[in-house]
Amino acid sequence: MSTVLSRDSQVRVMEDTVTQAEKHFGQLCSLLAAYTRKTARLRDKADQLVRQLVDFANTEHPEMRATLRSLAEDLARVQDYRQAEVERLERKVIDPLKLYGAQIKQTRAEIKKCKRVRNNEIKQLERLEKLRQKSPSDRPTLSQAETSVQRASVDANRTTHQLEETIDTFQKQKLKDLQKIFSDFVTIEMVFHAKAVEVYSSTFQTLERYDLERDLEDFRAKMQGVYGRYNARPLTNTTASPAVPWSLAQSAQSTIRSQRKEAVSEEDSAEEEEGPVEDFQGTGAPSITRVGG
């Protein structure tokens, strides 16, 4: 029975090879699909960030606006590369792994067939054994049973041999595909990361070139336009309104002048900005403040 036993372990090793492949390819497939999905989620989030940066850019002055827009464009380009990464992972990594389902099913069917043929051999051997013990002298029946054993044995050998070839081809293809799939995975990732480095290097330079002072000048100019204080010029669309409230200009101003004396008289009181209360009091009664201080 050692051939039968040997064939038994043989089939078991084959089954094991296919089962391991099925298990690991299946797990790899679902993990790599999940990895790809997470990459797609990251791309989505970065796309939101791009839109947010464009919105933000539109509320800023030209310098920062251009910088933020450029940053948004670069970030969008990286997401385009990430999208290409996702598509390539699906096509060159996940799809080939999925195909293994069919391939494994087919190999499993061949193993099953081999087991069936092998079981028939055992059955024929057992039948012959029984006949030999029951009717050892019945040559025609024994001879027929021996022929059946022979046929079953040849059948089993042939099927096992075919299976060996199938498993050999399966294993060879599996190893080749593993190498190919992971080489593709690594290449896809590498290309994406290299593109990202390229884009971000240029983004970094854009950010370095950002002119803060120019932007601040724009901001201050806008504020001055609204304040109207640096050159005491009236607000746009306000027809020749004086820089002081009309009530003060009419009567209160004289009162103020009479109280603030020469310290105030040199400047436009309503637009006064260098004269806080302390200064005002100090000008009015310097000795008191100093004594009290």
**Segment 144-203, which members bind a copy of itself (CB under 8 A)?**
146-147, 149-151, 153-155, 157-158, 161, 164, 167-168, 171-172, 175-176, 178-179, 182-183, 186-187, 189-190, 193-194, 196-197, 200-201, 203
Q: Is 221 in the site for a copy of itself (CB under 8 A)?
A: no
* C-alpha angle 89-184-88 in degrees, rounded to nearest 5: 25
Q: Is 288 in the site for a copy of itself (CB under 8 A)?
A: no
The residues in 63-92 that bind a copy of itself, with binding defined as CB under 8 A, are 64, 67-68, 71, 78
Burial of 137 by CB count in 10 Å (0-12 exposed, 13-18 middle, 19+ buried)? exposed
Cα→Cα distances 257→245, 254, 264, 283, Å? 15, 5, 6, 13
CB of 39 to a copy of itself, least distance (A): 6
Burial of 240 by CB count in 10 Å (0-12 exposed, 13-18 middle, 19+ buried)? exposed
CB of 274 to a copy of itself, least distance (A): 8
248, 269 contact by CB (below 8 A): yes
Q: Is 233 in the site for a copy of itself (CB under 8 A)?
A: no
CB of 6 to a copy of itself, least distance (A): 5
Alpha helices in 59-138 (DSSP H): 62-89, 95-134
Q: Which is nearer to a copy of itself, 106 or 183 (CB)?
A: 183
* Residue in 133, 137, 231, 247 binding a copy of itself, rule: CB under 8 A: 247
- Taking the C-alpha atoms of residue 58 and residue 55, their distance in angstroms, rounded to an integer, is 5
The residues in 16-55 that bind a copy of itself, with binding defined as CB under 8 A, are 20, 24, 27-28, 31-32, 34-35, 38-39, 41-42, 45-46, 48-49, 52-53, 55
Q: Which is nearer to a copy of itself, 276 or 286 (CB)?
A: 276
Q: Which among 130, 120, 181, 102 is positioned nearest to 156, based on CA atoms?
A: 120
CB of 273 to a copy of itself, least distance (A): 5
Structure tokens at 38: 């997470």
The residue assigned the tokens 């054994």 is 129
The residues in 248-287 that bind a copy of itself, with binding defined as CB under 8 A, are 248, 251-252, 255-256, 259-260, 269-273, 275-277, 280
How far is C-alpha 63 from the geometric centre of its chain's CA atoms?
A: 31
CB of 96 to a copy of itself, least distance (A): 15
* Residue in 234, 261, 286, 288 binding a copy of itself, rule: CB under 8 A: 234
* Residue in 138, 220, 221, 285 binding a copy of itself, rule: CB under 8 A: 220
Q: Which is nearer to a copy of itself, 99 or 197 (CB)?
A: 197
The residue assigned the tokens 């070139």 is 209
The residue assigned the tokens 């051997």 is 125
Provide φ and ψ at 126, rounded to 5°. -65, -40
* Residue in 219, 263, 284, 289 binding a copy of itself, rule: CB under 8 A: 219
Q: Which among 260, 282, 284 is positioned nearest to 272, based on CA atoms?
A: 260
Q: What is the x/- site pattern for a copy of itself, positions 90-129, by CB under 8 A?
A: -----------------------------------x--xx
Q: Is 196 helix (H, G, I), strand (E, B) or coil?
A: helix
- Taking the C-alpha atoms of residue 73 and residue 103, their distance in angstroms, rounded to an integer, is 44
